[in-house]
Amino acid sequence: MKLIYIVVILLVINFGNTTLASEHWNTIHTEDDLTLNSLIQEDNKLIAVGSDDYRGVIITSNNGTNWSTTTTDITDEFTGIAYNNDIWILVTKKGTIYSSEDLNTWEMQFDENNNRLSDIIWNDDEFIAIGDSGTVLTSQDGTDWETESISSNDLKGIAWNDDKTIVIEKNHNYAEVYILEDEEWERKVIDYEGLTGGYFPILNDITYNEEIEKFVSVGDYGTIFYYDEDDENDKLNWKKVEVADLNDHLYAIASNDEKFIAVGNNSTMVTSYNGRDWSKVGNQGKNHNLYDIVQYRNDFFALRAFNLEPRKSFIVTDQKDETVDVFINDELLAIKDQPAFIDNNNNTVVPLRTISDAFGAKTRWIGSKRLVTIETSEQNTKLYLDQDNSTTITKNNRLVVPLRFVSEKLGATVEWSQKDHAVYIEK
């Protein structure tokens, strides 16, 4: 089984133009052995759901900075979550639906579905869950559910406005969506330059922007469509967007009152103020994928995956203190309490305990001499607090040390990557 790093990312967007406030997204929190599938904001909270491979997991934050993790006793993988009127609804990989009033105690509400459920929303009228083999489940109270199949293909994304709910499906042969109006689902074919059959890039997500009054869908190979409806036939007249140098798959899209933002593999991100004109605003490297995004308060948050082993979960943010990712032998170093950062002397510093444990070293603090010793079977290094290049400082009551100085003293090679805003260590 392929293992991945999972990351929640805070992207701080400058709404005055189409560029990011910063090009770097940095780790501020770490969880081990988690897969996260969906990220939403509801009830003034940020919530990510997934699993630890055995049980469902929920990660929550009330401010985007401090996070708490709850591992449930449900032996399933959570794939989506929605909220309305003090009721939370979870959908799972096994096709089961659960409800809760507090995000802690969950009660099964539906287990008669054998198809994976991929997403769920509340559309101001009812809960709608979608999944594989065209599965659609609906409920107005989260307890009594009706099920139907509207397609033979898997359903991938769902969005709504006051008039309609639109679902997109995974289909290479025809580009189709299903529209719910007046309690009836209607199939409509995407009419793009006369294309109604043959190969079509898979669409992965869809959103609606109330201020801009457009539905926009994104998909593989940089596919972006916005459309106007044609009431005279059963087709949707999609307008395809061309973005220079955009060939990466786009997995998710979100918007606020001013703009759309779509994200994808190679950490590609594109943005638009009107749904028609798009700009590519950055990426985070070939080993990183962005696969979900949501607006929370004034910022955008996204999930990021690293195609490395072993799997871990990271929460990262764009911070003013220039936090840094650290890789040792190509594995991202898990730093839970105090992230690596760049100090006033332009040194990357890390908690002493973190780097010593990574090298299998023993440390000793001699307070009378303000001295730290770091010992391995082959090396013995001394660091004096606030002296020369070996300066050690305290931040947030943690003893931190210069990463390059300590690593090289312990026999490792150190390289800085400006592109990744990361330090790579080989030992």
C-alpha distances (whole Å) from 309 to each of 76, 282, 317, 331, 416 are 22, 25, 22, 7, 21
Q: What is the CA radius of gyration of the chain?
A: 24
Contacts of 102-110 with CB under 8 Å at 24 or more apart are 103/47, 103/58, 103/60, 103/70, 104/70, 106/72, 106/74, 109/139, 109/142, 109/143, 109/145, 110/137, 110/145, 110/147
Band of pLDDT at residue 3, cut at 50, 70 and 90:
very low
Average pLDDT over the chain, rounded to an integer: 80
Under 8 Å between Cβ of 322 and 340: no
Average pLDDT over residues 339-343: 75
Type of residue at 380: N
**Model confidence pLDDT, tens digit, residues 375-385:** 888 888 887 77
Average pLDDT over residues 27-38: 72
pTM: 0.71
**Model confidence pLDDT, tens digit, residues 202-226:** 889 999 998 888 899 999 989 898 8
DSSP reduced 3-state for 340: strand
The winner for highest mean pLDDT among 20-24, 87-91, 218-222, 405-409 is 87-91
For residues 270 and 244, give the distance between their C-alpha atoms in angstroms, rounded to a whole number.
11
For residues 84 and 104, give the distance between their C-alpha atoms in angstroms, rounded to a whole number.
16
Under 8 Å between Cβ of 194 and 222: no
Residue 235 is predicted with a pLDDT of 55
Band of pLDDT at residue 286, cut at 50, 70 and 90:
low
Residue 104 is predicted with a pLDDT of 93
Domains of the chain: 5-320 (2.130.10.10), 328-426 (3.30.457.10)
> Which of 369, 374, 398 is closest to 385 using CA atoms?
369
- Dihedral angle computed from the Cα positions of residues 222, 226, 231 and 235, in that order, rounded to the nearest 10 degrees: 0
Band of pLDDT at residue 349, cut at 50, 70 and 90:
confident
Residue 1 is predicted with a pLDDT of 32
Band of pLDDT at residue 296, cut at 50, 70 and 90:
confident
Residue 310 is predicted with a pLDDT of 35
Under 8 Å between Cβ of 8 and 316: yes
Residue 179 is predicted with a pLDDT of 87
Say yes or no to pLDDT of 54 above 80: yes
